[in-house]
Amino acid sequence: MGEERIAVYPGTFDPLTSGHECLIRRGLELFDTVIVAVARDCGKNPLFSLEERVDIVREVFGSTPGVKVMPFAGLLVEFAAANNAKAILRGLRAVSDFDYEFQMALMNRKLEKRVQTIFLMSDLRWMYISSTNIRNVASLGGDVRRLVPDTVIPRLRRAYGLPETWPEVSVGSKSLLGAAACSVPETENGAD
C-alpha cells in the first residue's frame, strides 16, 4: 500500500457554500484525505466565529470518510507540512481568481517545495457564488437555499435576526432559487 495522499483545502468558510462542499467532494476523488483547514487569521471580520465555522463543516461532512476538519492559524504551508499533506487544494471560479491564487501558489512553493498547489475549476452552477455573496443576500432576507448546505440556513437566520419563516417566505420576495436551479444537470453526489 502506498503513502496516503493528503490534501489541505483552506478557507474561512464564512459560511460554507455548496461550491465549497462540491469542491471538497471532488477533492476526495483525487486524494485519500482532504483536510478542510478553517482559517483563524483571515484578515476579515467573519460573521461566524471560528468554532461555528468548524462546526458547520463538521456537521456537513461528519459521516464522510476521508474528510477531516481542523482550525488553523499561521502559514498554510507549515500547516500542510505538519499534517503530511503534499497538496493544497484551491478552487477557481473565474479568471479573476487566478491572479491571486497563482501568486499565493508561487509564494507557498517558495516557502515549502514539498507541497504542491492543485487548482480545480468550480462547477458551472457554483461559479457565481461566494461566501460574501451569500452573506449579502441573506442579510437582506434573500433566499439562499440550494446555495449553502441545509445546516447553514438556521445559522444565517439567527445571525441576521430573520423571521422563522425565512427562507421559505423570503423577506422582500428576493429569491435565488431560480438561479440555483440552472439547466446544468446534477449528478448523484452533487459534483459534475
Residues paired with residue 37 on neighbouring β-strands, in sequence order: 10, 70
Mean of all residue pLDDT scores within the chain:
88
Catalytic residue from among 18, 20, 53, 135: 20
Domain boundaries, the chain: 6-126, 131-180
- Whether 20 is catalytic is yes
- Whether 174 is catalytic is no
DSSP designation for 122: P
The answer, yes or no, to whether residue 96 has pLDDT greater than 50, is: yes
| Type and span of the H or E element at 26 | helix 18-27
Catalytic residue from among 86, 93, 146, 157: 93
CB 13 within 8 A of CB 55: no
Q: What is the pLDDT of residue 47?
A: 95
Give residue-wise pLDDT tens across range 38-63.
999 767 789 999 999 999 999 999 99
Q: What is the pLDDT of residue 172?
A: 55
Give residue-wise pLDDT tens across range 97-113.
888 899 999 999 999 99
Catalytic residue from among 18, 53, 122, 131: 131
- Whether 44 is catalytic is yes
Q: How far apart are CA 138 and CA 128, in angstroms?
A: 15
Under CATH, domain 6-126 is a member of which superfamily? HUPs (3.40.50.620)
pTM metric for this prediction: 0.85
Helices (H), 83-162: 95-111, 131-139, 152-160
